[in-house]
Structure formats: C-alpha cells, structure tokens
C-alpha cells in the first residue's frame, strides 16, 4: 500500500478532475479543495481499486465496508469546519482517508474503528504520510472515546437509527457533530450543535444518503440483518 512517487504521478490528472467535480457541486473553498489535492486517496485504498480511486464514488475497502464518496466528505467538512486548535472524534476510520483530511484541518484527531484489520491498514497509510496528530482505537465508537472528551467536532461515517447519546454527551460547547441517521437503506445527514451555554440543536443538512451501518451498543445490533 506504500505509494511511490512514480505511482502517485500517474494519478495527478485524475485527482484534478475529482477536484473539479467537487468544485462543480458548489464546494469551492480553496483551502478545502487543496486538502483533497494533497492527500492521495489511492494511498488509502486496496491496490485493486486504485484505478478508480479518483472517481467521485464510494469504493470497497474490504470487510464489507466502503470508503465514502469524496464530494460527500467535502460537504461534511464544510459543515463541520474543523479549526487548527480543535479536537476531533471520528467514528469509522475505515480507509483512513477522511482521518487524514481531518488531521490536516484540526489540532488532533481521535478515530475509532470496529474492524481491527482496517484500523491497522489505516495506521500504516497515515504513518507513511508522516501524521503525528492522530490516535486510532479499535472498538465500538457508538460509546465515543470518553478519555479524550469533550470534542469540538464529531463525525460518524456509518449510519445509525438515532443519534448515540454518548456522542451527544461528548460534544464540547461550541461543538458540531455530523452523522447519517435513518433506516439501514437510506439516511439523512444530521447536524447536532451545542452552543456555548450547552444548548443543543439538531437539524438535517442533507436528505438521502447511504452509508454502511453503524454496528454497536447505540447503533444497529451486530446480528440484525
Ligand atoms: N470515512 C471512511 C468510511 C468508512 S465506512 C472512509 O472513507 O474510508 C464506515 C466505517 O465505520 C467502516 O469501516 C465500519 O467498520 C466502521 N464502523 C461501523 N460501526 C462502527 C462502530 N460502532 N464503531 C467504530 N467503527 C464502526
């Protein structure tokens, strides 16, 4: 999975086209686009899908999981707006690509993944890129990561039937959380904010998206179909 400079060069054109696609969807913040330009997505994906790495599409990463669609990730980053002095909690490390984007935009990222093999692979890819501000944990992210709470930004990459209460509890004043909530087959993207006085607000920022299920204590049960 180590990417070498020659291999990276092959993808420059495709990456530029992906950035144009993201931009054409109204996500035109230059700084945000630069992160997509400078983090090579193929580096985080199994070699078998490298040729599709810069399509604006979810891609299989093994273990029945998928790397999310880049333009949807760009939208989530725009809504979350992580700041250089902020602490981020990510649930569903998956490939680690989104983790890398978050780490470039914030002070520190804490990311939880339930599939050990994916976490190990993501660690390898992130280390190869030299990130020093990312902590990964294998476990059930629906209970959050209490040790490092509260978080300014919380992002969940898998779909839940409702907003897990522990994640609400771990959202800092001034914090933003985005997560897909709905049925197993279709969800909407929900933004939960907590203002400086602790007051919570919740609203939909995008209808109709499809994520893999969030499996765990406050998500879908592990053995439901
Ligand atoms: N942003 C990632 C998306 C990965 S898909 C990427 O672009 O690669 C969502 C991930 O959430 C999957 O890897 C899945 O294993 C993980 N997941 C599902 N339920 C979880 C839970 N309760 N805790 C932590 N991770 C979970």
CA distances (Å), origin 195, targets 10, 41, 201: 45, 34, 8
Q: Structurally, how many domains does the chain consist of?
A: 1
Measured distance CA(31)–CA(46) in Å, rounded: 27
Identify whether 99 is part of a domain.
yes
Q: Give the percent of the chain with pLDDT over 90.
A: 93
C-alpha 74 – ligand 1 centre gap (Å): 17
Identify whether 223 is part of a domain.
no
Query: 123 is in which domain, residue-wise?
Result: 5-209
- How confident is the model at residue 7, as a pLDDT? 66
State which of 43, 71, 114 you would mutate to test the pocket of ligand 1, scoring each by most atoms of that ligand within 8 A of its C-beta. Answer: 114
- How confident is the model at residue 73, as a pLDDT? 98
- How confident is the model at residue 9, as a pLDDT? 81
Condensed to tens digits (0 to 9), the pLDDT of residues 119-150 reads: 999 999 999 999 999 999 999 999 999 999 99
The band of 1, judged by pLDDT with boundaries at 50, 70 and 90, is: very low
- How confident is the model at residue 175, as a pLDDT? 98
Identify whether 109 is part of a domain.
yes
* Residue in 73, 43, 40 with CA at minimum distance from that of residue 56: 73
- Which is the closest atom of ligand 1 to the Cα of 141? 23
Identify whether 221 is part of a domain.
no
Identify whether 202 is part of a domain.
yes
Identify whether 94 is part of a domain.
yes
Structure tokens, 182: 């709905």
Told to judge if 119 belongs to the known catalytic residues of this protein, a careful annotator would answer: no
Find the catalytic residue in 3, 68, 162, 204: 68
Identify whether 222 is part of a domain.
no
**Protein residues whose CB sits closer than 6 Å to any atom of ligand 1:** 61, 65-68, 91-92, 94-95, 97-98, 112-115, 118, 140-142, 157-158, 212, 214-216, 219
**CATH number of 119's domain:** 3.40.50.150
Single pTM value for the model:
0.96
Measured distance CA(76)–CA(138) in Å, rounded: 23
Structure tokens, 5: 């400079």
Measured distance CA(158)–CA(191) in Å, rounded: 14
Identify whether 215 is part of a domain.
no
Distance of CA 173 to the CA centre of its chain: 21
* Residue in 48, 89, 87, 86 with CA at minimum distance from that of residue 67: 48
Condensed to tens digits (0 to 9), the pLDDT of residues 71-88 reads: 999 999 999 999 999 999
- Averaged pLDDT, 34-52: 96
Strand order through the sheet with 171-182: 134-138, 108-113, 87-91, 151-156, 171-182, 187-194, 200-209
- Closest C-alpha residue for ligand 1 atom 7: 67
- Closest C-alpha residue for ligand 1 atom 18: 214
């Amino acid at each position: 999975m180590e990417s070498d400079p020659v291999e990276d060069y092959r993808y420059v054109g495709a990456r530029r086209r992906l950035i144009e696609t993201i931009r054409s969807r109204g996500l035109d913040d230059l700084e945000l686009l630069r992160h997509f330009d400078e983090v090579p997505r193929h580096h985080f994906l199994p070699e078998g899908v490298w040729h599709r790495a810069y399509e604006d599409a979810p891609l299989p990463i093994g273990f029945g999981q998928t790397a999310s669609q880049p333009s949807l990730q760009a939208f989530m980053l725009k809504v979350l707006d992580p700041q250089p002095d902020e602490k981020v909690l990510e649930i569903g490390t998956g490939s680690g690509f989104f983790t890398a984007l978050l780490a470039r935009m914030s002070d520190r990222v804490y990311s939880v993944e339930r599939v050990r093999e994916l976490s190990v692979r993501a660690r390898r890819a992130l280390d190869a890129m030299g990130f020093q501000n990312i902590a990964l944990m294998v476990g059930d992210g629906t209970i959050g990561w209490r040790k490092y709470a509260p978080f300014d930004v919380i992002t969940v990459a898998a779909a839940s039937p409702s907003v897990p209460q522990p994640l609400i509890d771990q959202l800092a004043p001034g914090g933003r959380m985005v997560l897909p909530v709905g049925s197993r087959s279709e969800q909407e993207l929900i933004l939960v904010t907590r203002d400086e006085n602790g007051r919570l607000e919740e609203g939909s920022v995008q209808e109709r998206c499809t994520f893999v299920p969030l499996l765990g204590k406050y998500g879908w049960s592990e053995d439901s179909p």
